[in-house]
Amino acid sequence: MLRTDEILATIQMLHAEHLDVRTVTLGVNLNDCAGPDVDLICRKIGQKVARYAANLVPACEKVAAKYGVPVTNKRLAISPAATLLAGHGAGAAMAIAQALDAAAAAAGVDLVGGFTAYCEKGIAAADSVLIGSLPEVLSGTERVCASINVASRRAGINMDAVALMGRTILAVAAATADRHGFGCAKLCVFANAPQDNPFMAGAHLGPGEPEAVVNVGVSGPGVVGSALRRKLELEPKLTLGELAEEIKITAFRVTRVGELIGREVAAELGVPFGILDLSLAPTPAVGDSVGEILKILGIDRIGAPGSTAAIALLTDAVKKGGAFASSSVGGLSGAFIPVSEDAALAEAAAKGYLVLEKLEAMTSVCSVGLDMIAIPGDTPPETIAAIIADEMAIGVMNNKTTGVRIIPVPGGKVGQTVAFGGLFGSAPIMEVRNAGASGRFVGFGGRIPAPIQSLNN
């Protein structure tokens, strides 16, 4: 028999603190759709996605109702589209993107990830076609998300790809200038991209994954924040160690919700359950914020000294609670700090407390990188590339995933606020200091070699 206090604690978390399952992402391998005939590729994409995904939304809704836990987003992740583009040109890229867009719409999902290429060591012909098509694809489709892996622990950093992405990001922004460069919100540049990440925009079904698989992203910064606040009201003299313990317990509960829902949705769909990504992913809703947790932990202005230590504590406690709760933890699994998608972070950036350099420092101890950051549209491409290079270096040297999702807002000036709508939120345009001073470094090109694996200090 269940105990009453257990039932009440769960009800509190689910309904008063609005815990949800942030995303159920169905991965589908589309490699067998490849071929010389673009029309046939597109038809096969439609058929294969429909076969696996037709029941995704109803299955999520059925399981959500059974447990009283909403599944906020239902999404698709496909095997890297660069594979489908082998031997094809720019026209095929757009046709395939449109086929994916239509397949996602038919399945009732809002985003499909996997317009992806791996270029950490070199840019193959198909990768180059894919990257070249991004301005057209990300402006001409609604649901398609792209990610490019330009660095890894084993390969180092492909600076040619980094430079190319600097230019590409500006081109994508220009192609979506009417929406403040929104296309860039659907484009991630990664080091050590996870193969099983369910979170957009970086979700894709990497090599080594099953034919189809359900991966789940749980969230819950609001729940963690509430738990800490409640605990501190009862016992204001807690130490940081005790607060970490509370975060751990909450992460355990949140993770369990995700695993229960994920396993059952997978069973409904008849595909294996893959992993659970226990990232704290904020939304623009007030209270559902990682920044808010930093404030509860005593950082009055996010970005002040101590911010990096606080987010390190948070990320580690989340991982520990999650790892104990489930043996299927994967993806990114940490704390996200996407500026536009987190009301408290956006506010701190607008007030000038939180600057790009401090965000970068914070990403060295939390997933996933410089995320949803608006910068002036006249930032030089070499500077954007250098921002990417710095972030990739953090990932490669620390053997972790890092990413960059940065939006140069066309015509935008520092201090203006731009709104991207819905879950993408709104953000102030942040200052890029020393813009234009990294061109020679980026201009060398080539590859920053893979780091040494010993002498770890």
Partner 1 sequence: MKPRFENAYVLNVMADDRPGIVAAVSKAVVGAGGNIDACSQTVLSGYFTLIMIVSFPRQLAEGPFLAALMKPDRRESGFQVQIRPFLPEAEAPAVADADNFVVTCFGPDTPGVIYRFSSLLADKGINIVDLYGQLDGDQFVLISQVQIPKKWDLAMLQADLEALGAEQGYTVRVQHENIFIATNQLRLGRHAEQH
Binding site for partner 1 (CB under 8 A): 1-4, 6-11, 13-15, 65-69, 253, 256-257, 259-260, 263-264, 266-267, 273
Instruction: Provide the minimum distance between the beta carbon of 329 and partner 1 in the complex, in angstroms, as a whole number.
Output: 13
* Nearest partner of 246 among 328, 305, 172, 313, judged by Cα: 313
Closest CB to partner 1 among residues 36, 58: 58
Least distance CB 8 / partner 1 (angstroms): 8
Helix (H), strand (E), coil (C) string for the chain: CCCHHHHHHHHHHHHHCCCCEEEEEEEECCHHHCCCCHHHHHHHHHHHHHHHHCCHHHHHHHHHHHHCCCEEEEEEEECCHHHCCCCCCHHHHHHHHHHHHHHHHHHCCCCEEEEEEECCCCCCHHHHHHHHHHHHHHHHCCCEEEEEEEEECCCEEEHHHHHHHHHHHHHHHHHCHHHCCHHHHHEEEEECCCCCCCCCCCCCCCCCCCCEEEEEEECCHHHHHHHHHHHHHHCCCCCHHHHHHHHHHHHHHHHHHHHHHHHHHHHHHCCCEEEEECCECCCCCCCCCHHHHHHHCCCCCCCCCCHHHHHHHHHHHHHHHHHHHCCCECCCCCECCECCCCHHHHHHHHCCCCCHHHHHHHHCCCCCEEEEEEEECCCCHHHHHHHHHHHHHHHHHHCCCEEEEEEEECCCCCCCEEECCHHHCEEEECCCCCCCCCHHHHHHCCEECCCCCCCCC
Smallest gap from residue 213 Cβ to partner 1 (A): 14
Q: Measured from the CB of residue 256, what is the shortest distance to partner 1 in angstroms?
A: 4
CB of 400 to partner 1, least distance (A): 28
Closest approach, Cβ 397 to partner 1, in A, equals 37
Nearest CB to partner 1, comparing residues 14 and 302: 14
Min separation Cβ 282 and partner 1, Å: 21
CB nearer to partner 1: give 15 or 433: 15
Residue 254 CB, nearest distance to partner 1 (Å)? 8
Nearer to partner 1, 58 or 436 (CB): 58
Q: Which is nearer to partner 1, 259 or 391 (CB)?
A: 259
Is 204 or 231 the residue whose CB approaches partner 1 more closely? 231
Output the smallest distance, CB 334 to partner 1, in A: 21
Nearer to partner 1, 272 or 306 (CB): 272
In the complex with partner 1, which residue's Cβ is closer, 266 or 393? 266
25 vs 363 by CB, closer to partner 1: 25
